[in-house]
Amino acid sequence: MLNCLIVDDEPLARKQIEAYVERVPFLTLVGTARNPMLAKEVLEAEMVDLIFLDIQMPHMSGIDFLKNNDIFQQIVVITAYPEYALDGFDLEVTDYLMKPVAFERFLKASNKALAKVSGSSMIKSISDKPDFLYIKCNQRYEKVWLADILYIESMLNYINIITKQRKFTVYSSLKAIESSLPPDQFIRIHKSYMVAIHHVNSIDGRHLQVMGHQLPVSRSNKQAVLQKITPGR
């Protein structure tokens, strides 16, 4: 599911996109805004995955909104002005739709956003057996060494990658990053947690300790975790 926000100064345009959102099973509308300032208020109050953004608006354009704010959500630009397309793609928007928007084209853009949220575009490795990953965080790719990762925590459509030095919040799923990690170094211990095996200090009952962090171990994962962490016991 994607929570979406519509930002457009034209009431009829907002109504059309609202109607389209209702027709797409994986979209949930959490807010509308007639200008970028009101959009910021929605972003502060709601969990938003996807923004349908008009370009030509009074006081602040959609392009300026993207340039002047730390926006990590998927962006689908909707406008009647084709000359803004290059600016939109320079800002790595998910898609660019021309008004009037046909539903089929809207659906294609929404599917593209859904595919990106799955995480494949947010996490990159450069080999089958990487020593590090590049993760997209704060509009740039950060290099994260696997040896520094303590554990990974799932938070709805986000994951927190906890390393020895800091925390990275990435717009991805736990399943997506799991497919990029070597299985001999990392293990799923819970539906919301993965840990680096070599950083596990102890396991006791339904919890394990990772360098001062106590993490839950689910009943369904416990046996596999014990076998992986304490082989030959």
Q: Where are the domains of the chain?
A: 2-117, 123-229
Q: Where are the alpha helices (DSSP H) in the chain?
A: 11-23, 36-45, 62-68, 85-90, 103-117, 174-178, 219-229
| pLDDT computed for residue 125 by the predictor | 63
What CATH number does the domain located at 2-117 have?
3.40.50.2300
Q: What pLDDT shows up at residue 58?
A: 84
Give residue 178's pLDDT: 86
Query: What pLDDT, on a 0 to 100 scale, did the predictor assign at position 138?
Result: 59
Question: What φ, ψ does residue 110 adopt, rounded to 5°?
Answer: -65, -40
Contacts 24+ apart (CB under 8 A), 173-178: 173/117, 173/118, 173/119, 175/118, 175/119, 176/118, 176/119, 176/120, 176/122, 176/123, 177/119, 177/123, 177/133, 177/152
Looking at residue 37, its amino acid is M
CATH number for region 123-229: 2.40.50.1020
Determine the pLDDT at residue 18. 97
Sign of CA dihedral 30, 32, 38, 40: positive
Separation of CA 153 from chain center = 13
Q: What is the rounded CA–CA span in Å between residue 225 and residue 187?
A: 7
CA gap 174, 157 in Å, rounded: 9
Cα–Cα distance, 230 to 81 (Å, whole number): 62
Map residue 44 onto helix, strand or coil: helix
- Cβ distance 37 to 64 under 8 Å? no
CA separation, residue 180 to residues 10, 74, 127, 168, 195 (Å): 43, 22, 10, 16, 14
Check residue 85 and give its pLDDT.
Answer: 54
Per-residue pLDDT of the chain (233 residues; tens, 9 = 90+): 788 999 999 999 999 999 999 999 989 999 999 999 999 999 888 878 899 999 888 888 888 898 888 787 889 999 887 766 555 556 678 899 999 999 999 999 999 888 776 554 567 665 566 788 888 765 567 889 999 999 999 886 678 999 999 998 887 778 878 888 888 999 999 999 999 999 999 988 789 999 999 999 998 888 888 888 876 55
Residue 36's pLDDT is 93
CA of residue 168 relative to chain centroid, distance: 12
> How many of the other CB atoms lie within 10 Å of CB of 205?
7
Q: In this predicted structure, what is the pLDDT of residue 129? A: 63
Query: What distance in Å separates the CA atoms of residue 50 and residue 2, rounded to the nearest whole number?
Result: 7
The predicted structure's pLDDT at residue 121:
54
pLDDT given at position 126? 57
